[in-house]
Amino acid sequence: MFKANLLILFLLLIGMPLLAMMPMTGIPKEFENLRADTLTVQLLNQKCWSLRRTDPLSAITIGKKSLEMAKEIHYAKGEAQILNYLGICYFNLSDSPTATEYFYKALLFSDSLNISIEKGYALNNIASSLLFEGENHQALIFARKALALQTQNKDKKGIAYAMMRLSDVYRNLQQNDSLLITAQTAYKLLSELGMKENSLIALKNIGRAWEREKQYGKALKCYKQIENSISISKTTERNVYADLARVYNLLRLPDQAIFYGKRWLSTEKGDELILRQMANSYALKDNWKEAFQYARKSMAVMDSVAKEERLSQIRNLQILYETREKEKENVNLKAKLYKRNLFVTAFAAIIILICSLVLILLSKRLQQTRLNQLLNQKNEEILIQRDHLDELNQTKNKLFSIIAHDLRGPVGSASTFLELLTKQANNFTKEELLENLILIKDSSKATSKLLENLLTWARAQKGEIVFNPQKNDLFKLVQSNIDLFTSNAENKKIRIVNEINPDLTFEFDQEMINTVIRNLINNAIKYTGENGLITISAKEIDEIVEISVTDTGIGMDSDSTDLLFITDLKQNRKEGTIGEKGTGLGLILCKEFVWKHKGTIWAESESGKGSTFKFTLPRSHSKRKEIAL
């Protein structure tokens, strides 16, 4: 229990900066100076729930007041309920990490006090977060647990929510039969409960199931029923426009698809999916000009949104929950040992009157020692397995996040773009063709550089790169990289100067330092404007060589330089002077390779006055050769 309390305290400390960043609204006057009792907590909880969609910020403020009051009067059920409600409010604000944190707090709290209904809702909410992050199989596990518990509780609303969550999971897993069954069950239960808005969401999943079975008429009937509902929210109404546009395209009725696509675009700026549907509609009408324009807009709105940090937080909280389950098993084992010791003591007292007290005591003590050793060994194995699982999950999540967003998006869009160009080449002038081919070329070059860094990083994470320092010529290595970027620099009229002493040679791993120099020069070109200057220099300080890459680019403030080398692919990276994008993976590689040389790397910069990236390398590595990363 003590360890669990420490872990919960740690999570609270981690969550405080996130909560501090969230803008707060004042407590409504009718909720000021309320007496702390169970009825007031129930009132505040009800108000928080009613505002969760329309005004989540006010709902959070009211919810935190209720949470504080529930803790003060030790109202456990109200506390468990408001933890779930606060998580849903943050989820509606797209703050998935904070939402997940509250859901796990609700799970741990309700589980510790055996509040089974709120535990069921917490399990279902965690399934929502996992589903949002693309963790479909984990979401399925939690949703099934929620359904089993709410069925045991005979909570009709909880069963309906669990069925709806299962239908969302089966939709993502492409399991259409299960999707149709769970969605129809959820729709029936939610309709009986009078939960109209939620029943429409279940009806949307029924339509998606019919759509995947190519029964477009049945799917269209579901979507039209949602559109014609009098209690539909703005969000649900906008989303069903996209569904109708997609089905009408599948029915080869582009005019109706365009009608609903434009209705969607009249409510909000387009996203990649609706713009792609508009492009398909105009392509069906052989209006290739409009199709091409919407395809370009689809490419323009695509952006890399890495989820590694959110996935990492969910994984950490999940590991916390699983670890707590293991600790509960250990507590039960200790309880059994305690009861057994009591029995041994009583039995020994009886044996004293009969015979062999000493032999029995020694036997039981040895048995207890063996059990304690086994318990300690199991605890150590659990900790080792947890740490190993955490490391594997973090590595996998980083790799899949980049592949899923930074590579798949540009490659897929370029493919669609090229298909339009090749089919309708005669409809474009030479100038238009050249302009769009240049756009595709630049996107391909950027994707190629990202892929090169990604493969190098993946090899390093798998331990396939061998650290093999040998005596090398730094001047020649730098010059070869300058020659590599000559074309890029000339496009921006940037001059690159190699000021390194041609006679400077020392021991370093040529492949690793080549990667470091290449990434630093590439970054310097990216953030340096036309007619700029980039200088590469080195100076010897005792047994250390300090290498510098200096540019006259846009620079950055001190807050940005402090975050450059943090292994966090979700950071918003500043675009280059002509809109070049990056993930920060190159700088992470630089840091890892410099550290393998027992060196350091840092940046010195001032906004508007350029930047200098520096790193140090020892002159010799006589005892560290042939070390695998």
Q: What is the mean pLDDT of residues 335-363?
A: 82
Q: What is the mean pLDDT of residues 510-536?
A: 92
* Cβ atoms of 501 and 511 closer than 8 Å: no
The partner residues of 495 in beta bridges, in order of sequence, read 533
Concatenating the DSSP letter of every residue in 326-390 gives HHHHHHHHHHHHHHHHHHHHHHHHHHHHHS-HHHHHHHHHHHHHHHHHHHHHHHHHHHHHHHHHH
Q: What pTM did the predictor assign?
A: 0.45
pLDDT confidence bin for 304, thresholds 50/70/90: very low
590-626 pLDDT, tens digit per residue, is 998 899 899 999 999 988 889 999 999 999 876 544 4
Residue 79, judged by CB atoms within 10 A of its CB (0-12, 13-18, 19+), counts as buried
Residues 472 and 619 placed together within one structural domain of the fold: yes
Residues 541 and 559 placed together within one structural domain of the fold: yes
pLDDT confidence bin for 450, thresholds 50/70/90: low
Q: What is the mean pLDDT of residues 410-433?
A: 72
Q: Please identify, among 464, 479, 500, the residue that sits at the C-terminal boundary of a domain.
A: 464
**CA 224, CA 241: separation in Å to the nearest integer?**
9
Residues 421 and 376 placed together within one structural domain of the fold: yes
Residues 426 and 499 placed together within one structural domain of the fold: no
Q: What is the mean pLDDT of residues 166-184?
A: 92
Identify whether 551 is part of a domain.
Answer: yes
Residues 106 and 146 placed together within one structural domain of the fold: no
Q: Please identify, among 432, 464, 496, the residue that sits at the C-terminal boundary of a domain.
A: 464
Amino acid in position 382: I
Residues 437 and 350 placed together within one structural domain of the fold: yes
With a cut of 50, say whether residue 167 has pLDDT above it: yes
Sign of CA dihedral 196, 202, 205, 206: negative
CATH classification at residue 146: 1.25.40.10
* Cβ atoms of 173 and 205 closer than 8 Å: no
**pLDDT at residue number 6:** 41
**pLDDT at residue number 84:** 93
Q: What is the mean pLDDT of residues 90-98?
A: 88
**pLDDT at residue number 402:** 55
Identify whether 253 is part of a domain.
Answer: no
Which residues, other chains included, contact 591 with Cβ-Cβ below 8 Å and sequence gap of 6+?
A: 565, 601
**pLDDT at residue number 220:** 92
**pLDDT at residue number 296:** 83
Rounded to 10 degrees, the C-alpha dihedral 556/561/563/566 comes to: 130
DSSP state of 506: E
In this structure, the number of other CB atoms found within 10 A of the CB of residue 74 comes to 8
* Both tokens assigned to 263: 């209705």
Q: What angle separates helix 254-265 from helix 234-250, to the nearest 10 degrees? A: 160
Which residue, 69, 45, 49, 56, is CA-closest to 23? Answer: 56
Identify whether 485 is part of a domain.
Answer: yes
Mean pLDDT of the chain: 81
Identify whether 291 is part of a domain.
Answer: no
**pLDDT at residue number 497:** 95
Which residue, 69, 79, 73, is CA-closest to 102? Answer: 79
Inter-CA distances, 535 with 238, 494, 612, Å: 53, 11, 9
Residues 457 and 474 placed together within one structural domain of the fold: no
With a cut of 50, say whether residue 23 has pLDDT above it: no
Structural domain harbouring 22? 1-114
In this structure, the number of other CB atoms found within 10 A of the CB of residue 286 comes to 9
Which residue, 158, 153, 207, is CA-closest to 183? Answer: 207
Residues 490 and 589 placed together within one structural domain of the fold: yes
Identify whether 450 is part of a domain.
Answer: yes
Please provide residue 564's backbone torsions phi and psi, each rounded to the nearest 5 degrees.
Answer: -60, -45
* Both tokens assigned to 85: 């409600």
Instruction: Bin 509: left if φ > 0, else alpha if -120 < ψ < 50, else beta.
Output: beta
Helix, strand or coil for residue 492? Answer: coil
Inter-CA distances, 546 with 306, 525, 537, 539, Å: 33, 21, 8, 5
The partner residues of 472 in beta bridges, in order of sequence, read 506
* Both tokens assigned to 123: 């399990």
Which residue, 623, 295, 285, 288, is CA-closest to 469? Answer: 623
* Both tokens assigned to 254: 């582009």
With a cut of 60, say whether residue 75 has pLDDT above it: yes
With a cut of 80, say whether residue 7 has pLDDT above it: no
Helix, strand or coil for residue 526? Answer: helix
Q: How far is CA 58 from the centre of its chain?
A: 26
In this structure, the number of other CB atoms found within 10 A of the CB of residue 345 comes to 11
CATH classification at residue 23: 1.25.40
**CA 624, CA 629: separation in Å to the nearest integer?**
12
Residues 366 and 351 placed together within one structural domain of the fold: yes
Residues 344 and 435 placed together within one structural domain of the fold: yes
Residues 528 and 445 placed together within one structural domain of the fold: no
Identify whether 123 is part of a domain.
Answer: no
Sign of CA dihedral 440, 442, 445, 446: negative
User: Which of 281-285, 318-322, 601-605 has maximum average pLDDT?
Assistant: 601-605
**How many residues are given for the chain?**
629
* Both tokens assigned to 186: 């959820």
468-503 pLDDT, tens digit per residue, is 899 999 999 999 989 888 888 888 899 999 999 999
**CA 535, CA 144: separation in Å to the nearest integer?**
60
User: Which of 364-368, 561-565, 607-611 has maximum average pLDDT?
Assistant: 607-611
With a cut of 60, say whether residue 305 has pLDDT above it: no
| Range in 395-409, 568-582, 614-628 with the lowest mean pLDDT | 395-409
**pLDDT at residue number 398:** 60
In this structure, the number of other CB atoms found within 10 A of the CB of residue 450 comes to 20
**pLDDT at residue number 15:** 41
With a cut of 70, say whether residue 408 has pLDDT above it: no
CATH classification at residue 574: 3.30.565.10
Identify whether 233 is part of a domain.
Answer: no
**pLDDT at residue number 578:** 73
Identify whether 47 is part of a domain.
Answer: yes
With a cut of 60, say whether residue 345 has pLDDT above it: yes
* Cβ atoms of 525 and 543 closer than 8 Å: no
Rounded to 10 degrees, the C-alpha dihedral 267/268/274/278 comes to: 70
Q: What is the mean pLDDT of residues 64-68?
A: 93
244-282 pLDDT, tens digit per residue, is 989 999 999 999 989 988 888 877 666 677 888 888 888
Q: Please identify, among 188, 207, 225, the residue that sits at the C-terminal boundary of a domain.
A: 225
What total of structural domains would you count in the chain?
Answer: 4
Residues 408 and 496 placed together within one structural domain of the fold: no
The partner residues of 537 in beta bridges, in order of sequence, read 548
DSSP state of 424: T
**CA 594, CA 613: separation in Å to the nearest integer?**
12
81-90 pLDDT, tens digit per residue, is 999 999 999 9
With a cut of 70, say whether residue 582 has pLDDT above it: no
Which residues, other chains included, contact 465 with Cβ-Cβ below 8 Å and sequence gap of 6+?
A: 456, 459, 511, 512, 628, 629
